[in-house]
């Protein structure tokens, strides 16, 4: 999974191609819970590039995108938001897969 390094990079990726941004943090137990199966989801849904967004590093970006709970996902295709799975609740592999499938 790629890691977001700058706001400019976020805008570039958001506007070009199909990306799913994972808003997360190292200290978040629910974020750690989903880590083991993320590589499997990346492999299964290769039409998307998955991007890790560190919530603490990009708190303003989170606020701009109404991400007030983590882990959260927002998907874009060439600048158009396809969908979002944003909440503070723990997410299961099945819930994340259902979200991704709903984007197609």
Average pLDDT over residues 32-54: 96
Band (89; pLDDT cuts 50, 70, 90): confident
Q: Tell me which residue has tokens 């996902």.
A: 73
Rounded to whole angstroms, the Cα distance separating 22 from 32 reads 12
| Distance from C-alpha of 3 to C-alpha of 76, rounded to nearest angstrom | 16
Give percent above pLDDT 70 in the chain: 100
Task: Give me the pLDDT at residue 88, please.
Answer: 79
Residue 104 has pLDDT above 80, yes or no: no
- CB neighbours of 100 closer than 8 A, spacing ≥ 6? 20, 41, 45, 48, 75
What mean pLDDT comes out for the span 21-43? 95
**Does the pLDDT value for residue 30 go beyond 80?**
yes
Kindly state the average pLDDT of the residues 30-34: 94
More confident residue, 20 or 90: 20
- Who's near 77: CB < 8 A, 6+ residues apart? 17, 18
The CATH class of the 2-102 domain is: alpha beta
């Amino acid at each position: 999974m790629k890691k977001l390094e700058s706001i400019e990079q976020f805008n570039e990726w958001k506007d070009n191609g199909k990306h799913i941004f994972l808003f997360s943090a190292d200290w978040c137990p629910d974020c750690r819970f989903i880590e083991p199966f993320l590589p499997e989801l990346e492999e299964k849904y290769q039409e998307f590039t998955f991007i890790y967004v560190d919530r603490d590093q990009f708190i303003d970006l989170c606020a701009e995108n109404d991400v007030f709970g983590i882990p959260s996902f927002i998907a874009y295709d060439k600048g158009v938001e396809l969908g979002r799975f944003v909440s503070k609740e723990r997410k299961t592999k099945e819930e994340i897969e259902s979200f991704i499938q709903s984007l197609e």
